[in-house]
Amino acid sequence: MDKVFIEALEIDALIGIYDWERRIRQPLVFDIEMAFDNRVPAATDAIEDTLDYKAVSKRVMEYVGASSFGLVETLAESVADLILAEFGVRHVRLKLSKPGAVRGARAVGVLIERSRD
């Protein structure tokens, strides 16, 4: 299975359950893998036949930047649903990291995989 990926996409977001978190924007880091058959774009060498990772990145940045979730689990689920619905991929693997959330850890977060039926 071919995959298109976006690695270490950093987005500042309003995220968290504590009062102090609701007053600041915090950096989140996304690693996204999307199942996509790359044979057609490889044959045509045409951008319109690809899964445009720049368009996916821009849309995720736009969505997350405007969002306000309490839990990273909810945000990850929502972003995975958005990618599946708007970009026609069959499967997405999404890692959402919240750097500095736990003292002594580089980051914490969730890793999910979702597929279209």
Q: Using alpha carbons only, what angle is made at residue 6 by residues 74 and 76, rounded to the nearest 5 degrees?
A: 5
Active-site residue, 98 included: yes
Annotated catalytic residue: which of 3, 54, 58, 98? 98
The whole-angstrom separation of Cα 64 and Cα 78 is 9
- What would the 3-class secondary structure string for 75-116 be? HHHHHHHHHHHHHCCCEEEEEEEEECCCCCCCEEEEEEEEEC
Which residue numbers are catalytic? 98
